[in-house]
Chain A
Amino acid sequence: MTGRAVAIVGGVTTKFGVRPATWAELAQEVGAALFRSVPELRTEDVDSLFVGAAEPERFAFQSHVAPFAAEQMGLRPYRILQRTELACASGQSAIRSAYAAIASGLSDVAVAVGIEKMNIPSMAEANSAMGCVMDRAWDGPHGATAPPFFAMVAQRHMLEHGTTEEQLAAVSEKNHRFANTNPTAHFHEKTFPRDKLLRLPIIAPPLRLGDCSSMTDGAAAVVLTSEERARSYTDTPAWVRGSGQYSDFHNLANAGSLTEWSGLTRAAREALGRAGIGVGDLDLAEVHDCFSISEIVEYEALGLCPPGEGGKFAADGRGDLGGDLVVNPRGGLLGCGHPLGATGIAQAVEVFQQFSSTVPAARQVPDPEWALVHNLSGSANVHSVMVYQRGGAA
């Protein structure tokens, strides 16, 4: 550990979906929900605010969103106020920044909030927003967005390892089934059995609609504080025990192997090493299933199975309740939707709620102690990992 021990002591997620609400209204909603959820937290306790927001300029035509969000949430930060942008990992970046601030002593109580409004009248405009996550001048003019890139990952994985459409569907079926237990999930009410998934339209071959996470509106927030104060907010703090990131390319031409995400292996090694545990110690993992193939490659890169066997890992249910560990009990990005800035925060909320046994029994991991959260961003060119431990002493 470095500096003071830091814990998440509360957290909430708004309803994810196609929301008849603006960016500002989502910020107000998550702020109100946060203070209801952590009654001991007073607005004046919060000295710092980190706002994970990927593309408010594009989707909401709003910049300078950190003070904008603070006003919506009723906060007056007096130590650190900033936005964190790392595309699909913007939310985890907000948490990592709050963690660093508290560990160093610069902040005592910080809120990390993630907000994204993605459903706008023109979906073509929204798709352009997704496209500029890539190298806009070189990849963008070809029409590059996330689906065709991850489709190429799937195509190469199928070629190199014999991964099947049925194995992709196994990931999607699991995560949608978990989402059925999560009222905040975009697809809470929809069921996706494997045979139905295999009949959905192709979006970017070989990926079908059910292999892709959706454009979703939503917000989520967590409160972090130090070992000195954690117990004044909760009996079940989720301690941040490790953090790691890695990035080695941005332009698609420099991706190297599409099927070996060595950046994730390195980021996870860093985070798990700082926590002093191995991947086998994990009880649950919230990983970035922006596409079904992503979760399969992530099983391998995390070392949960040998390279090439991620599809079998999925089909054998080893990431399901009763398996080696539970992967994406929240419902994942596939089931919950993917409001870019909110996703990383919502994953941490799930960890906090799993540790405090406040999730529905249908997705409660039995007696969890260790959890890992992973986000990728862009074309899997950045991997961000955090490791949490339940309760106990600081």
Chain B
Amino acid sequence: MSTEVRPRRAAKATLAPPVERPTPRPPEPDSPPKPSKTFAKRPFLLDFFPLESADQTRLHRFYERLRAGRLSTTRCPRDGELLWPPRTACPKCHQEELEWVDLPETGHVYAFSAVLAGAPLGMEDEVPFAVGLVDLDGVPLRLFGRIEGRPWAELRIGQPVRAESYDIGDGRVFYRFRTVG
């Protein structure tokens, strides 16, 4: 059985420093969005990486900002609450006019484990890999993600990490964490 292996390229961009200011919500395009240039090369129903383009998701700005090295999410201007994952409607007040804000790039590991067996399709060759929950510095968000940079057996709770974006190999990007120090 042939499986496509996701390239494990080095980080394309280091994320920008934390920015507390809200960014105005860009207007939605009026004209029909352009067809996706980043169509999944793997079978769509077995590929966890989302379709990121404007013709597929209203959250395309997350991926555009990530490609530019900025980890961001949405915030409800009425509640002021940071929402993760990014959303198109506030779960509390159901406001749909949410704003994009940059997130801190640094954080500390709250809990971690590793996948030593039983990886999903396309990730078998990456075993073993570490995953964890990371408390971002200065904001009340705890993000789940891959942790690169150190073997799982050398990780500790409290380990400082830094978020980075990476190219998954077909034009799409995603985020992960890398150990610091």
Interface residues of A (CB under 8 A from B): 122-125, 127-128, 130-132, 135-145, 147-149, 151-152, 155-156, 159, 201-207, 251-255, 258
Contacts and interface: CB of A to CB of B under 8 A. Distances in A.
B39 interface: no
Contacts of B77: none
Contact of A159 (B85, B115, B157): B157
Given A138-B85, A152-B133, A203-B117, A124 B3 contact: yes
B38 interface: no
A127 B84 contact: no
Interface stretch (B12-20, B28-36, B144-152): B144-152
B92 to A, nearest CB: 13
Nearest to A156: B111
Contacts of A140: 48, 120
B113 A147 contact: yes
Contacts of A206: 113
A353 to B, nearest CB: 32
A128 B113 contact: no
With a 10 A CB-CB cut-off, give which of A131, A143, A253 has the most chain B CB atoms: A143
A124 B119 contact: yes
Contacts of B46: 125, 128
B113 A127 contact: no
A127 to B, nearest CB: 5
Nearest 10 CB-CB pairs, A to B? A140-B48, A151-B113, A152-B111, A137-B50, A128-B120, A252-B144, A148-B113, A124-B121, A138-B85, A128-B121
B49 A141 contact: yes
A123 B124 CA distance: 10
Interface in B133-181: 133, 141-146, 152-153, 157, 168, 174, 176
A155 B113 contact: yes
Contact of B133 (A122, A205, A252): A252
A127 B120 contact: yes
A112 to B, nearest CB: 29
A142 to B, nearest CB: 5
Nearest to A58: B45
30 contacts: A123-B118, A124-B119, A124-B124, A127-B118, A127-B121, A128-B48, A128-B121, A128-B122, A131-B120, A137-B48, A138-B144, A140-B48, A140-B120, A141-B174, A142-B144, A143-B120, A143-B131, A145-B118, A147-B113, A147-B115, A147-B118, A155-B113, A155-B157, A156-B111, A201-B117, A203-B116, A205-B113, A205-B114, A252-B144, A253-B144
B97 interface: no
Contacts, number: 118
A148 B132 CA distance: 8
A60 B110 CA distance: 38
Interface string B91-123: 000000000000000000011111111111111
Interface residues of B, number: 40
A131 B48 contact: yes
Contacts of B118: 123, 127, 130, 145, 147, 203-204
Contacts of A124: 3, 119-124
Contacts of A255: 133, 142
Given A128-B46, A142-B146, A251 B85 contact: yes
Contacts of B55: none
With a 10 A CB-CB cut-off, give which of A145, A148, A159, A204 has the most chain B CB atoms: A148
A381 to B, nearest CB: 13
A206 B49 CA distance: 27
A122 B48 contact: no
Nearest to B111: A152
Nearest to B144: A252
A12 to B, nearest CB: 30
A132 B48 contact: yes
A142 B113 CA distance: 12
Contact of A253 (B113, B123, B129, B142): B142
Contacts of B174: 141
